[in-house]
Copies of this chain bind each other. A is one copy, B any other.
C-alpha cells in the first residue's frame, strides 16, 4: 500500500547524473524504471504521466527523455522515421518491430550473433550495431 521504495534510489540516480530530482523527473523516472524494460515515445510517456495524476508538460517529457538519454539511462531507437522510441534497456540487445502497430519488443536472450562484420572505413569506429527484425502478421497480404 505504500510503494515508496525506489524514490530515494531514483533521486540519487538523477543526482549522480547531474540532474536535479524534480517532481516531474522523479515521476517520469518512476514510470520508466519502476518495472520491466520499456519502449516509449514521448507522447506515450506523457499520457501515462497524466493518467497517473502527474502534471507534466509534453515539452518537459521531451527534455527529460533527452536528458536521460544523455545520462545513459535510456537508448534511442530509430525504427520508423516518424516517432522517436526510447528504450529503458541500455544494454546490448536487439528488437522485434511489429510493423503494423509500431510496437517494439526486446528480442529475448542474447542469442543473436553477427558474423562477418567488415572493417569500418578508414577513420571511423563502430559505435553500435542495430538489429531490427521487422514482423508482419502471418496472414498479411501486403508486405
Are B138's CB and A133's CB within 8 A?
no
Are B113's CB and A127's CB within 8 A?
no
**How distant is A25 from chain B, measured CB to nearest CB, in Å?**
22
Copies of this subunit: 2
Are B112's CB and A116's CB within 8 A?
yes
Number of residues of chain A lying within 8 A (CB) of chain B: 42
Cβ of A129 within 8 Å of any chain B Cβ, yes or no, is yes
Cβ of A115 within 8 Å of any chain B Cβ, yes or no, is yes
Are B130's CB and A132's CB within 8 A?
yes
Are B118's CB and A99's CB within 8 A?
no
- Select A78's contact among B81, B111, B120, beta carbons within 8 Å: B81
- Select A108's contact among B76, B83, B108, B118, beta carbons within 8 Å: B118
A107 contacts across to B, CB distance below 8 A:
118
A82 contacts across to B, CB distance below 8 A:
81
- Select A128's contact among B80, B105, B134, beta carbons within 8 Å: B134
Cβ of A137 within 8 Å of any chain B Cβ, yes or no, is yes
Cβ of A18 within 8 Å of any chain B Cβ, yes or no, is no
Query: Residues on A close to B: CB < 8 A?
Result: 76, 78-84, 96, 98-99, 105, 107-109, 111-118, 120-121, 123-138, 143
